[in-house]
């Protein structure tokens, strides 16, 4: 049973650039959530996608955008990168009909902005 997979695992960008992170959910899951985890902090909710639509969003600027594809995979895009965007970006999948919303996480994409 394939778990949540994320790519790339590590990447380095410079200020002002744009980045795209990718996520494939656990087999059978239809909901993808993205979290940002800065060093030494807990995961912060960015947004959640279900049925190819963003249905909840955390306190992140419009520079953060996403997409969900018909196969339930998802992308996180960040434009005009800032130094403060350096973090571990975690993708988590869940099943909308499960009720509990238990999340299954990928290993994350570590973004360094120079």
Partner 1 sequence: AQSVAQPEDQVNVAEGNPLTVKCTYSVSGNPYLFWYVQYPNRGLQFLLKYITGDNLVKGSYGFEAEFNKSQTSFHLKKPSALVSDSALYFCAVRDITSGGYQKVTFGTGTKLQVIP
Residues that bind partner 1 (CB under 8 A): 4, 31, 33, 35, 41-45, 48, 50, 55-56, 58, 90, 92, 94, 96, 99-108, 110
Between CA 103 and CA 93 the distance in angstroms is: 6
Comparison of 79 and 95: residue with beta carbon closer to partner 1? 95
Q: Which is nearer to partner 1, 17 or 52 (CB)?
A: 52
CB of 113 to partner 1, least distance (A): 18
Specify the residue, 17 or 41, whose C-beta has the smaller distance to partner 1. Answer: 41
**Which residues does 48 contact at the CB level (< 8 Å), separation at least 6?**
31, 32, 33, 34, 54, 55, 56, 57
CB of 2 to partner 1, least distance (A): 14
Please tell me the distance from the alpha carbon of residue 93 to that of residue 112, in angstroms, as a whole number: 24
| CA–CA gap between residue 49 and residue 113 (Å, rounded) | 26
């Amino acid at each position: 049973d394939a778990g949540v997979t994320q790519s790339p695992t590590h990447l380095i960008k410079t200020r002002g650039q744009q980045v795209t992170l990718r996520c494939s959910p656990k087999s059978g899951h239809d909901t993808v959530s993205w979290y940002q985890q800065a060093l030494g902090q807990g995961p912060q909710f960015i947004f959640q996608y279900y049925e190819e639509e963003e249905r909840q969003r955390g306190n992140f600027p419009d520079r953060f955008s996403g997409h969900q594809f018909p196969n339930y995979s998802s992308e996180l895009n960040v434009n005009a990168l800032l130094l403060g965007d350096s973090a571990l970006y975690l993708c988590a999948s869940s099943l909308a009909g499960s009720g509990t919303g238990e999340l299954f996480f990928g290993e994350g994409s570590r973004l360094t902005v120079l």
